[in-house]
């Protein structure tokens, strides 16, 4: 039996402490870019606040789990205490602008070595009664969920791909949206049986990566030379468990770990009502999670 122990506990412990640091400041660049200086080119008045200002406010809202009105008051008090001559976006401004805000959550790290990606999805509550009420009285027709799809770098724990969808969208339909924007070399993509489709294999092949996806129990061979055939043959000869060990499939648990961290730190509910606002809210939370992971993550060493 293999036991893992953390080899960088001192550094990881410091990173966990820094995550709770609430020192806030505005850099000179942030102050200069707080107000929008460009016209959108269409009719009507240009936006008063820049995207940086809106994203900053929404980020603080997500970290401290505030309502839009409370976020407006919180940011206004910060600006006042810092004695800055800056206006504060109103809660209605934050709500409207969040519907069209583009959040760049992907880390800026680049490497010539191919990365291993693990993919999975989880549910986020939007509105409706709680778990206890649903179990006691049944799910309400107004009870709604969204699905958060994550692609995680297995080496750094950074989230390199994220998408939000309705519950009617299958996991396999979103894989392309997670992989296509990536501009880095990918060694392998690991996912569970829900991604065992031709479309998913095609998306992985387009990235020139290896697909580590367990085939269905009654899986049949596809056309000659298809990458999936080797997985089907091996699982029938050595069994699914041995095949997973050979393909390092256990790394898929890192995607579940990332979802656990998301729900523990950011909550398991989306407070926005519109889908576009919910998407922005989820992407901002992913960006916050990546920043926290960038402060330091545990490094393990296996002992037999």
- pLDDT attached to residue 129: 61
pLDDT tens digits along 244-300: 998 899 999 999 999 999 999 999 999 998 999 999 999 999 999 999 988 888 887
Q: How many CA atoms lie within 13 A of 44 on its CB side?
A: 5
Cα dihedral 93, 98, 100, 106 in deg (nearest 10): 140
- Considering only the C-alpha atoms of the chain, give the largest distance between any 2 of them, rounded to a whole number of Å: 71
Judged by DSSP in three states, 20 sits in: coil
The rounded mean pLDDT for the chain is 89
pLDDT at 170: 94
Question: To which H or E segment does residue 300 belong?
Answer: strand 300-303
Residue 118 has φ and ψ, to the nearest 5°, of: -115, 140
Is the separation of the CB atoms in 283 and 160 below 8 Å?
Answer: no
Give the chain's end-to-end CA distance (angstroms, integer).
Answer: 6
The answer on pLDDT for 140 being more than 70 is: no
Q: What is the pLDDT of residues 153-175, one digit of tens each?
A: 998 899 999 999 999 999 999 99
Query: Which whole-number Å values give the CA distances from 144 to 118, 165, 166, 210, 282, in the listed order?
Result: 27, 12, 9, 36, 16
Is residue 177 within 8 A of residue 169, CB to CB? The reply is: no
Strands (E), 44-158: 115-127, 144-153
pLDDT band with cut points at 50, 70 and 90 for residue 304? very low
DSSP line for 163-202 = EEEETTS-HHHHHHHHHTT--S-EEEEE--GGG-SHHHHH
Nearest Cα to 158, choosing from 12, 286, 15? Answer: 286
pTM over 0.85: yes
DSSP 38: S
- The label of the residue with tokens 């027709």 reads 141
């Amino acid at each position: 039996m293999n036991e893992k122990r953390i080899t960088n506990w001192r550094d990881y412990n410091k990173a966990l402490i820094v995550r709770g640091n609430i020192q806030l400041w505005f850099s000179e660049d942030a102050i200069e870019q707080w107000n929008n200086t460009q016209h959108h080119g269409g009719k009507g008045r240009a936006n008063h606040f820049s995207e940086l200002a809106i994203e900053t406010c929404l980020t603080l809202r997500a970290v401290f789990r505030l309502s839009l009105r409370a976020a407006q008051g919180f940011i206004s008090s910060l600006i006042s205490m810092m004695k800055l001559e800056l206006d504060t976006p109103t809660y209605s401004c934050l709500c409207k602008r969040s519907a069209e805000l583009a959040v760049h959550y992907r880390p800026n790290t680049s490497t010539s070595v191919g990365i291993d990606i693990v993919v999975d999805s989880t549910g986020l509550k939007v509105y409706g009664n709680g778990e206890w009420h649903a179990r006691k009285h049944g799910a309400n027709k107004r009870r709604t969920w969204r699905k958060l799809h994550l692609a995680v770098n297995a080496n750094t724990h950074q989230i390199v791909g994220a998408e939000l969808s309705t519950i009617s969208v299958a996991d396999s339909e979103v894989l392309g949206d997670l992989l296509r924007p990536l501009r880095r070399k990918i060694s392998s993509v690991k996912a569970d049986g829900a991604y065992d489709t031709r479309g998913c294999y095609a998306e992985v092949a387009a990235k020139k990566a290896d697909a580590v996806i367990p085939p269905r129990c009654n899986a049949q061979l596809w056309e000659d030379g298809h990458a999936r055939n080797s997985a089907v043959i091996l699982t029938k000869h050595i069994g699914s468990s041995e095949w997973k060990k050979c393909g390092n499939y256990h790394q898929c648990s890192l995607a579940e770990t990332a979802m656990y961290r998301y729900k523990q730190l950011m909550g398991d509910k989306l407070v926005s009502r519109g889908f576009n606002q919910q998407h922005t809210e989820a992407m901002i939370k992913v960006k916050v999670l990546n920043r926290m992971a960038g402060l330091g993550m545990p490094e393990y060493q296996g002992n037999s």
